[in-house]
Structure 1
Amino acid sequence: MQASDQNFLNNHHYCPCYAEDAGTISAGEAIDLFNLAGSLLSVVGLDGYFKRINPAFEKVLGYDRATLLNTPFMDFVHPDDRAKTGAEMEKLQTGQPTLYFENRYRCPDGIYKWLAWTVTPIVRSRLMYAVAQDISDRKALETSARQHQERLQFALQGSNDGIWDWNLLTDQVYFSPRWKSMLGFAEDEIGDNLEEWSARVHPDDLERVLTTVRDHLAGETPFYVSEHRARCKDGTYKWILDRGRVLYDATGRAIRMVGTHTDISDRKELEQQLKTARAELERRVQERTEQLQETNAILAERETLYRTLARHIPNGSVVLFDRDLRYFLCEGEELKPCGLDPEEMVGKSLAEVFPEEVCRTLEPQYRDALDGLPSEREIFYRGQMYETRAVPVRDERGEIFAGMVLTQNITGRKMIELELQESERRTRSILDRSEAVIYLKDLQGRYLFVNRQYEKLCGITNEEIPGRTDYDIFPATVADRFVENDREVIAKGTACRFEEIIPLPEGARTYLAIKFLLTDNNGRPYAICGISTDITERKQAEEILRGNEQRLREIIERMPVLINALDERGNFVMWNDECERVTGYTRDEVIGRSELFDKLYPDPEYLREKLHEWRDRGDNYRDWEWKIVCKDGATKTIAWSNISADYPIAGWASWGIGVDVTERERTAAILRRSEEKYRELSEAIEQFIWISGPDGSIDYCNRYFYTYTGLTPERILGGTAIETVHPAERDRVIEGWNRARDRREPYEFEYRCRRGSDGTYRWFLGRVNPTFDDGGRIVRWLGRAIDVDDRKRAEMRLQKQTLELERLNTALQNAAEELTRRNQELDRFAYVVSHDLKAPLRAIANLSEWIEEDLTGELSADTRRNLDLLRGRVYRLDAMIDGLLAYSRVGRIKTRPETVDIRRLITEVLDSLDPPAAFTLDTRVDVPPLQARRLLLFQVLSNLIDNAIKHHHRSDGHIEVVAIDTGEEYEFSVRDDGPGISPEFHEKIFEIFQVLKPRDKSESTGIGLSLVKKIIDTEGGHLSIDSREGEGTTFTFTWPKAPLFPDTDAR
């Protein structure tokens, strides 16, 4: 061990990576553990530099040790992660440890790696002890999985189905917008819990659906499929096809269940209508058959009556009449129900037996029979419908001597015919409303009937279809396939399924055709019925599924876990990339062979024990660790999980998923030792640390808690410490704790805690966090509290000072309002004074010009010079008044900021000044258009450039105007090559009315530069001068990038 390592160890003996006493581990061993650890171990200063790192840093990040130690660690952090990393540092500086935190570190090749950190701060030493793990591979897998999930969700959204995603760990459920809108709800009207679904399942369906879900969760079914009714927002129900599947994590634990939600109400309604129509049709056919059988019986009886003239006629009668239309024989059961007595009818005429309206119908029929003309009529008599058939009766010579009328009550038959017509109409309506294509052909392939969907598909009506064949409607190649399928149905005599492709103008469509024979009462087939359903989208989905299966196999082969499979003979049939990487054996060495077991497990006794245990466990186990010997001779530990029993795959008799946990075992040992050190640390720090069970009963408190409160473990453990909380805070603390426990969320609170030594109370900031098991249940609460009494009292003092500042601010606002009022009065005064002074000045100037014009030629040179001098003084006084007004208004006149183009502004200034023709002016503007008060900036540049022109000692002077961006502000300079200004006058020239030349030799008012300085000061800039006598003058001023009052008028 180097001396520097030993010194560092001695100076930081409290680091959780090292032992506190020689009885646990030596300093040299601690250094060895630190250097040999596979995790990234470091000691970091609160100044942002690594103080010590182990070699794992160089191995993972690729930098040398010096670079990592001499560079602020924030320089390695990804720009997008620096803000949250800085926030985490602020928490650490308060003494709050980081249990888990992720960010990205840049490697020399520009690639970023994901690191997961656990950090413990030691504030008094301004150090932090950090452990990091490289989780880049896991992050890449998460990204890939998320992208796959997004693609899947996009595909599902395109199908117009609803989507649901049930988190089995948190019991939260995601319902897609389509899921909600399918039931008539808006996006925000349904929450994210399972009750939103179960409460809407029809009560009659709920238990069946829940049983289906439980069966799938138990692994008894490969998929969850349910057809049930779901209640809509308006209270109605829709039939829903619900399909889903459970997703498992790498350990085989069920974590999610996702699926789709399809509205099948129309299909269900059609199925019900078809079922009802079929039942009705069968009933009608049965009734019709019975009626026909009854009619046949009647005909047989009638034939007997003709032969014997002595039998009763069911529902009918036979009468014989002579040429006078008088009855001489009347028989039949139907006569008495009609109110006729057969015996009384004999000898009576037609008119004597029946009413006049019946006679008008029957008499022509009777006479036709006597004339040798058989006839049939239907008459309505006494609420019944009768069919009458009249025939002549001939004697032995063939002459007609009488007529015979056979009368049949056909009321029942008529009603059956009407009902059959109505049934046929309803059936036709159902068939026409079906989304399926339905058609009938005779056994020769001629169409008998097609429904409306067929008409729309093929552009031919049901009236035009009879007698046509497939060759009349489709291309010959398509018709050949249809005819061949029809022949197969006839040959087999059973229903057959076919996939038939139909060319349409918009493209070919694939239909699933179910064809079956229709038979008569004797079982003889007389027609073929076909029902074809469009499955084009389903076929496309199957193609996509096959592609997905191929991609899934590629994913399995490239997944970062070991996946292998055995066939029935024990030969390997799957050996993915991770198996090759971990064991060193390639697929070519493994697939189709079983002898690899002897190489991976060379110890026969170990292999025999494992295989025996495997037989006992079966193909359903989790995280079963096996020791394997790799091709290079290294021994590794693999945790195998086998779910073949739950998810069998064809051709794979047994398959498993393995994770190389060799490194994890070593890391676990290090973490156990680290946990012991952290526990020692919790006993050493001056914070409350406690652990409680799910119900809040305390299991552990650190030494500082007992020292501060004066309580004993016997009094605290198994109970609570609420008695130490100030009575004023107890109800609030209990209420917050109950809320956190119910919501299963962290809870942070401030409270006063009683000190056991003197009974005084100090303020503490406490926080408890729940810890969950794999099933999402709270197993414990971790709590800590730090003494914030000094901070709390400082906050109270600050609150008091804030109230005082608010009072002073109110006073300042009142003073500002008074100042505004006085400024307004000053503006009015300045206007009046300027008007009253400038009016007589203009009169004096005009009067001197009139005098000069009136005395032209009479004025002496001295008089003319005096008049010129008079007007010059008048003009100077007028300019001085304008200057005074401008000076007084600086900071008080309202002007809003606007976008100013500096190049254009300088051009306007020069146009307003009109310099001598020999003057030259250069500009260099390197600033963009800026937000400023244009008038004020114009006045500044105008005064400075005007001074440079006016006070130049030559008529061919040179002026340079420069504008640059310094980063924080804009800088302007006006440089001339004039006579210059001596340094002793640099301050004087900015005073109002100060000039460097006698007033009789200069037209200056002495206000321009003082006005410039006041404007720049008011706008938040700075003005300076650089000049020497005879060397020219440079005025430099700065201008802020943002106006001092950007959203209000400046005054």
Structure 2
Amino acid sequence: MLTADNSLVASPGDTLRVTSLAYVEVDRRGLIREWNPAAQRLFGWSRDEMVGRPLADTLVPGHLRSTHSAAFARRLASDEPWQGMRAEVPARHRDGAELRVTMILDPLPDGFCAFLSDETAWHRAQQDLQRSTTLVNAILEHTSAMISAKDLDGCYLFVNAEYERVFQVDADELVGHRDTEVLPEVVAASGRAHDRHVISTGEALTALEELPFGDQIRQYVVTRFPLTDPDGSVYGVCSIAIDDTARRRSEDLLGESERLFRSTVNNAPGMLFQLRFAPDGTQAFTFISDGCREIYGLEPQQIIADPRLIMDIIADESMSSFAESVHVSLITLEPWRWQGAVVRQDGRQRWLQGVGRLYRLTDGTTLCDGVILDRTQERTTEIALETGRRDLDELTHRLAVFRFTAVAGPLGDPRLTSSAGDAAAVLGEADPADGLLAAFRSVLAADDHDRLREAFAAASHGEPADFEAGRLWLRLRPATVDGRQVIEGACFDVAAP
């Protein structure tokens, strides 16, 4: 169309077709009578599909249609001016999705028209922002950490509820004021030094700081980080302080308890240990006390690193009993018990006794808590005593006036099998070959006969026995000769000069 000054002006229809705003025109019955391409892009319906259709049945979400119809009727009947009215309303896309649109509404002689823009993404962004803000505020107000923000001059920009509670102040009293008005100068000075470090480096800093409260000092782990503008310039510092007093005190107590435990364990006799048997058959020590130095001549770390160092030095004669005891305990979970010898790397032999208790974990791992005791001294003493007893037995046997060997007869009475020495010196004319008990009874009073029988019965059952009556001393010892249980006897005349 050419105007009076020959300039080219677009027609209203061309303007509606090229605008990026959706244009919808509705008559007084609520029927759509105009629909531009931008409306088709926004809602998904073409002009041919929409012209003549009710607005309420197409663009209005189903749950709002009755409300829309009532408002539409009131607007048509109202005399109030509403030209250029702006509103944000929900709308429905062709695929059923709900949109959020902003419309500018104008009246027409027989209806109304509206220009609409899609604000769905912006609305969702605002909702997300609102949720994020609400979440952040909830965290700030309900966290047990003290959170504050200060500008470059050290004036407070923000403090959270925990900060207010700890220092018994209101945020309104702090914002715009410096920390020296709240904290002692010595504490504030330390905090300012950390603030300056964060501002100058632009990097976060975590440090342990102490704050006085009444007659006690509480320890806080404080993390400071820079607050920056979009261009990266630092405009302040945010601090997050977590009260670490209780944990550190507990840690100190645990450390002291552990020191006491280790001192007790390492001063206990023997070597305490925990041995781990994995389901795949591997073995590893998880703990070894310092007693291993005296027993094995090795450091705890050496044994933990290589358990074979003490497994490989078990003496050959003790290895089978060791392997069997471990095998049985792993299967039955019965307490582990073992006695045997090891030969240390320095060539010294040690006699050891081990005991342990086993328990199985849910993953199939078996743990054994136990102790190894050095019984070398006791074993040496036992061997010396055993040797002494043998020597004494041999000497006694040689000094005896009459010696004999007997076996139990069918009725339990001893039967002489061999003898040496002068039987007459203690038995007189009685011949022990005719009956050993009878021969001894002949020189004893009747009251001693039962005691004599009991002594022979004990010896026949493997227990040493001694009998003394009057001038007779009878020493009976069980023995094995050619695989047969026998009684070796030695007789003394204690009245002899």
TM-score if structure 2 supplies the norm length?
A: 0.40
Structure having the higher strand fraction is 2
Higher relative contact order (Cα pairs below 8 Å, separated by 6+ residues): 2
TM-score if structure 1 supplies the norm length?
A: 0.21
Structure having the higher helix fraction is 1
